[in-house]
Amino acid sequence: MARSSSWLILVVGWPDPVSRRNKILLRAIPSAALLILTGLALRWGGGTPALDIGTATEAGRSNTVLECFITNNSSHAISLTRPVVIREDKTGRLVTFAEVWAGRSETTNLTPRSSTVLSVNLSGNEKRVQFYLTSVRRAGALERALSRPVGELARKSGPNKLTSWLWRVGLVDGRCRRTYQNVWVPNEALQATAAPPSS
């Protein structure tokens, strides 16, 4: 019986701790390198473009137009996706509309230091109005290089806070995204122009 046990040990072999350690290292080194490169990409990559957003109203005889002026205050060319405008009426009810840019386009492109205007018709019942704008730009060279392996991992893990953050910083598809939430334009700024002119 003892001889059979010895033969079984020789065939199967004892666990090799060195091999196990090597396997762990081989798995850990690429992950560590990927984390280091990701950190370098975020440190050396271009900053997220900043938008300068201002508003003004123009009253007409039949309606009032609220104009939102957007300036690209960065050194990157960016695209603005379809804007979202939230209207709050006097009862506190919120209504959300997806607007279009001039020319009935769902996106618009801005070169560095250039501007565009989003015009929104008002009914005069608005208590306040708010704009949501999303900018998209090409990520840096290192971020684009990392986006392929990181993007594959992000897609396998599914949507969560980490993958959402990876999308924003350009480490999934090589494009950086940022959403801008403009301050509410209050009733005082709208009501004076939204009211029909006195005869």
Q: Is 152 exposed, middle or buried (0-12, 13-18, 19+ CB in 10 A)?
A: exposed
Asked if residue 100 has pLDDT above 70, the reply is: yes
Q: 121: closest CA among 81, 87, 93?
A: 87
Asked if residue 199 has pLDDT above 50, the reply is: no
Query: What does the pLDDT read at residue 30?
Result: 56
Query: What does the pLDDT read at residue 10?
Result: 43
CA distances from 185 to 54, 88, 96, 189, 197 (A): 10, 10, 15, 7, 21
What percent of the chain is predicted at pLDDT more than 70? 65
Domains of the chain and CATH, by start? 47-135+179-194 (2.60.40.1470), 140-173 (no CATH)
